[in-house]
Amino acid sequence: MDIILNQYYLQIVIFVLVNAILGVSIYMTLSTGQLSLGNAGFMSIGAYTCAILTVKAGFPVYLAIPIGGAAASFISLIIGYPALRLTGIYLAIATLGFGEVVRVIILNLKITNGALGISGIPTLGTKISKMLSSFGLSRFGGLTAQQTSNLLVLVVLIFILAFLVFFCTRLNRSRVGRAFASIKADESAAEAMGINTTYYKLLAFALGAFIAGMAGGLSAHLTFFIGPKDFAYHRTVEILSFAVLGGSDLIIGPIVGALLLTMLPELLRSASEYRLMIYGALMVIMMAFRPQGLISEETVRFWKRKLGRRIKQ
């Protein structure tokens, strides 16, 4: 129990969950075969919208976070319409450029406080605790206020992630999900089969941006402070590597990728100087030996068959 309640581990698990949500966001756009490197940009739009709303306008967090997502989603529609005519690396580079432009704009706006960023953002934990105490529930037996609030945040994040997984799996098995998959497999064949590819690509793009924006809002309320630097190129690469390592065929892929890549730096703390080198080498090795990521449809099929056989025996 001590381990579970240790704030250090709790905090890491919380970051794992936020990163997993980011993983879902890149999965969403990748599910139509579009590689968008703009997710860090959408994340920052969400984070700033949300932080400004709570800090400066006094909005409640539970409202501000979805509004942040919606703002990111709205911007994604504006840039997505022309951008999604591009494919492959062209789209990747255009969205990478978009992320940088967003960063420079944030640096120059007054409301975002430029490079100084926004500090003193109320944490999700205290907000939730407050809400609960207003219902008469304050702390659970024997836990410190901090542990309580962290646990509550954990529960909320798990709930959000679970909902996203539920959302994606439901979507995958529906008409829209099949349209996504067909566009990913062969865009012009999908169009010839009567699918409005522009609409569905834009839909996936906007959904991905919404999720990234929400993740941004969440992380703003977990780190007390946001600055433009938090959403630069390195963040883009980080989000991308969740999908690369875990695989983007199935929703579980980027989630596992986020889990491993958030844990890995903590495990490698002692070798911190080599951490990023390992990170980089890992990306190269993955592309050379397993470009589909750790978890692919075949892996799942393989294990299904294997386990199925064992059960039959």
Partner 1 sequence: MFWQQLVNGLTLGSTYSLVALGYTLIMGVLNIINMAHGEVFMFGAFVGLFLVNYLKVNIFVAMAGAMVASALLGILLEMLALRPLRRRAVSDLAPLISTIGVSIFLENLALKIFGPQSQAFPAGALSGVQLQLGPIRITLVQIVILGISFGLMFVLRFWLSKTRVGKAIRTTAESIETANLLGINTNKIILLTVALASALGGIAGVLVGLSINAVEPTMGLSMGLKGLAVLILGGMGNITGAMLGGLILGIAEVFTVAYGASSYRDAVAFGIIILILFIRPQGLFGKRQGGRF
Partner 2 sequence: MKKGLTKWFTGMMIGTLLLTTAGCGGGSAPAANSVSEGAGTAKIGVVAYLSGGGAAYGQSQKEGLDLAKDEINALGKVKIELVYEDSRGNNTEAINAVNKLINKDNVVALIGPTLSGEMFASGPIANQSEVPIMGTSTTAEGITDIGEFVFRNALPESSAVPQAVKMAVEKYNLKKVAIMYSSNNDWAVSGYKTMAQALKDNGVEVLATETFADKDTDFSAQLTKISSLKPDAVMVSSLYQEAALVLKKAREIGITVPFVGTNGFNSPELIKIAGQAADGAIVASPWYPGKESEKITKFVTDYKAKYNKVPDQFAAQSYDALYIYASALEKAGSSTDRAKLRDSLATIKDFQGVTGKFAFDEKRNPLMDATVLIVKDGQFTELK
Partner 3 sequence: MTLVLDQVSKSFGGLAALSDISFKVNDGEIIGIIGPNGAGKTTLFNLITGIFPPSEGKISYHGKNLLGLRPYKVTALGLARTFQNIRLFGHMSPLDNVMVGAHCRTKAGVWRGLWRTPAQRKEEKSTRERAQALLQLVGIENDTDSPAGSLPYGQQRRLEIARALATEPQLILLDEPAAGMNESETEDLRLLIKKIQMMGKTVVLIEHDMNLVMNVCDRLVVINFGQKIAEGTPAEIQKNPLVIEAYLGREEA
How many residues touch partner 3 under the rule CB under 8 A: the total is: 29
Over the window 159 to 178, marking each residue x when it contacts partner 3 by CB under 8 A and - when it does not, the resulting string is --------x--xx-xxxxxx
Q: Does 186 bind partner 3 (CB under 8 A)?
A: yes
* Interacting partner of 311 out of partner 2, partner 1, partner 3, none (Cβ under 5 to 8 A depending on kind): none
To partner 2, the closest distance from the beta carbon of 35 in angstroms equals 22
Rounded CA-CA distance 308/220 in Å is 44
- SS3 of 26-75: the string is HHHHHCCCCCCCCHHHHHHHHHHHHHHHHHCCCCCHHHHHHHHHHHHHHH
Residues 249 to 278 in contact with partner 3, rule: CB under 8 A: 249
To partner 1, the closest distance from the beta carbon of 255 in angstroms equals 19
The backbone torsions φ and ψ at residue 131, rounded to the nearest 5 degrees and listed phi first, read -60, -45
To partner 3, the closest distance from the beta carbon of 293 in angstroms equals 14
How distant, in Å, are the alpha carbons of 21, 80, 266, 267, 274 from that of 270? 27, 42, 9, 8, 9
* Interacting partner of 193 out of partner 3, partner 1, partner 2, none (Cβ under 5 to 8 A depending on kind): partner 3
Q: Give 271's DSSP letter.
A: G
Rounded CA-CA distance 28/184 in Å is 11
To partner 2, the closest distance from the beta carbon of 117 in angstroms equals 6
Q: Per residue in 142-160, is it b (16+ CB within 10 Å) or e — as a string?
A: eeeeebbbbbbbbebbeeb
* Interacting partner of 116 out of partner 3, partner 2, partner 1, none (Cβ under 5 to 8 A depending on kind): partner 2
To partner 1, the closest distance from the beta carbon of 186 in angstroms equals 13
CB atoms < 10 A from the CB of 268, how many?
15
User: Is the dihedral angle over the CA atoms 26, 29, 32, 34 positive or is it negative?
Assistant: negative
- Which of 86, 172, 275, 279 is close enough to bind partner 2 by CB under 8 A? 275
Residues 201 to 230 in contact with partner 3, rule: CB under 8 A: 203, 207
List residues binding partner 1 (CB under 8 A).
35, 79, 82-83, 85-86, 88-90, 92-94, 96-98, 100-101, 104-105, 107-108, 233, 237, 240, 244, 273-274, 276-277, 279-284, 286-289, 291
Q: Give 118's DSSP letter.
A: B
Q: Per residue in 37-49, is it b (16+ CB within 10 Å) or e — as a string?
A: bbbbbbbbbbbbb
Q: Does 196 bind partner 2 (CB under 8 A)?
A: no
Rounded CA-CA distance 98/92 in Å is 10
Over the window 30 to 59, marking each residue x when it contacts partner 3 by CB under 8 A and - when it does not, the resulting string is ------------------------------
Report which of 208, 161, 159 is spatially closest to residue 38, judged by C-alpha positions: 208
SS3 call for 160: helix
The site for partner 3 (CB under 8 A) is made up of: 167, 170-171, 173-179, 181-182, 185-186, 188-197, 203, 207, 249, 297, 301
The site for partner 2 (CB under 8 A) is made up of: 2-3, 6-9, 11-12, 15, 107-108, 114-117, 119-120, 123, 146, 219, 223-230, 256, 259-260, 263-267, 269, 272-273, 275-276, 289-290, 294-295, 298-299, 302-303
